[in-house]
Structure 1
Amino acid sequence: MEKEVIYNEDLHFEHENWQRELDFWEDELKSFHLRIEELINRWTDPMVLAEIEKFQNEFMIQEKEFDALKDQIAMHEKNMAAHYEKNEDVLNKTFVTQHLDFRKVLETERNLYYNLKKDFFRFMTKYM
């Protein structure tokens, strides 16, 4: 059975895509914060304001999570650069396993963020 070979450039490509996705999400959150401000100025009902606060908190949690994910990507890139400097284009099994685990983490985050956006859009449709 032939072993699968995974190269730095393949992982780097995926890291770049993840980075762009996280950057996009961060930009989206900036626009969501603007919408939140509009809602705060529009509503005085305590129930609506409590929902707004819930979304504010969830957006802040997401921002921190995005930063943490970006930090992990940067650490992976640093590790790959160290291998590259040693002329090691193929990574060790542990690092590849970490990369595959991170891929799952990002997929979970993608789903969580998608559901948060969906809930927020429903909320805005109701109260904008």
Structure 2
Amino acid sequence: MDAFRQKSSSAIIAVSDIERARGFYGEVLGLESETGTMPGVLVYRTGSTRLVIYSSDVAGTNRANAVVWDCGEDIEAIAAALAARGVTFERYEMEGVRFRDGVHDAGGFRMVWFKDPDGNILHLTSA
């Protein structure tokens, strides 16, 4: 099991329209794609991981977070940049949590949620 624990992992997201996803993940989110991937599959490098996007008939049916990015102290600036690109943020009511400019603040731990065009939930944290 030691060998398994040392292997890299990737996030994978199902989408209904690969070209629409290319526009959202590549242009709106500004992620850089890797070349040489399989036809019908998009791969983006994000930090030290890969984000794999593939076409599926069940796209958008996951009602939980699909991907989480650790944005640290940059979370507000990242949220502002995403908003400027037209991203709409989700607002979740939670006791003791303030919401401003798309950012939920739970006593210094900040969180942002938004959806891709298929409804996949994408999440940013300040952790």
TM-score bucket of the superposed structures, by smaller chain: under 0.3
Higher CA-based Rg: 1
More strand by share: 2
TM-score, normalised via structure 2 length: 0.25
More helix by share: 1
Structure scoring higher RCO (CA < 8 A, sep ≥ 6) equals 1
TM-score, normalised via structure 1 length: 0.24
